[in-house]
């Protein structure tokens, strides 16, 4: 591992520890926006960074079918944990909190791994790249939709014990904006990378075509 990668890895771990400490369950003292920042860090920043950092060691080739499954799981995990009942359970119970964050990181690694996997210089087939592109694009779309719903909601969807209603609504809107910006840019960047790979991938010969 190069010094730059090592420094980035240390910085990523330090930021993860800080965000986890800030969001430890047991009270509603921390804002909703910091909880959202932790979510987006796990699925849209840390997961792709880990995949890109260790894909040479894992040598995990992209798979079209698995990318579709990963996209579906990511949708269920993201929207499920943002249901008010599950969200508040994660804010109050340590084990639920661990399950929440672990599922975010796990599905994030699965999605980005199936989309961006493969050793450098040995990208996946055009079909796998297009499937990964579609999976990242659809994930970015539904996260953008969720972020827009949080930003435009006329009332507070999640309880905030120590903030006035106006401050709580602004905090919820800030959380939605974080999802829109971080998620939108991350999944857009991943989609563009896979689009470039698809254009560069060698086309497979047509088995039904006879040489002239």
CB 53 within 8 A of CB 113: no
Cα separation, 145 vs 127, whole angstroms: 27
CA nearest neighbour of 46 among 94, 11, 81 = 11
What is the pLDDT, as a whole number, of residue 93?
87
Q: Measured at the alpha carbon of residue 144, what is the angle toward residues 143 and 146, in degrees to the nearest 5?
A: 65
Kindly indicate the confidence band of residue 206, based on its pLDDT and cuts at 50, 70 and 90: very low
> What is the spatial distance between Cα 18 and Cα 59, in angstroms, rounded to a whole number?
31
DSSP state for residue 26 in the 8-state scheme:
S
Q: In the chain, what are the domain boundaries?
A: 3-200
Mean of pLDDT values over 24-39 = 78
Residue 205 has what pLDDT? 45
Task: Check residue 178 and give its pLDDT.
Answer: 94
Residues of the chain above pLDDT 90, percent: 30
Largest CA distance in the chain: 77
Model confidence pLDDT, tens digit, residues 163-197: 565 688 888 899 999 999 999 899 999 888 888 87
pLDDT at 60: 62
CA distance 178 to 183: 8
Confidence of residue 5 (pLDDT cuts 50, 70, 90): low
User: How much is the pLDDT for 207?
Assistant: 44
Q: What is the pTM of this model?
A: 0.82
Task: Say if residue 28's pLDDT is above 90.
Answer: no
Q: Identify the pLDDT of residue 89.
A: 87
């Amino acid at each position: 591992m190069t010094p730059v990668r090592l420094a980035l890895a240390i910085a990523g771990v330090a930021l993860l520890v800080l965000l986890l400490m800030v969001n430890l369950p047991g009270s509603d003292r921390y804002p909703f926006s910091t909880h959202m920042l932790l979510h987006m860090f796990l699925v849209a920043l840390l997961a792709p960074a880990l995949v890109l950092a260790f894909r040479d060691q894992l040598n995990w080739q992209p798979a079209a079918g698995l990318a579709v499954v990963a996209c579906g799981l990511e949708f269920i995990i993201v929207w499920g944990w943002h249901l008010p009942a599950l969200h508040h359970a994660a804010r109050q119970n340590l084990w639920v909190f661990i399950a929440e964050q672990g599922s975010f990181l796990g599905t994030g690694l699965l999605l980005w791994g199936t989309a961006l996997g493969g050793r450098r210089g040995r990208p996946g087939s055009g079909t796998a790249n297009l499937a990964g592109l579609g999976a990242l694009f659809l994930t970015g779309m539904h996260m953008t939709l969720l972020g827009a719903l949080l930003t435009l909601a006329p009332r507070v969807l999640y309880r905030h014990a120590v903030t006035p209603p106006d401050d709580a609504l602004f905090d919820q809107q800030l959380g939605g904006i974080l999802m829109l910006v971080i998620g939108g840019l991350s999944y857009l960047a991943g989609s563009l990378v896979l689009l470039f790979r698809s254009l560069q991938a060698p086309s497979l010969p047509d088995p039904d075509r006879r040489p002239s």
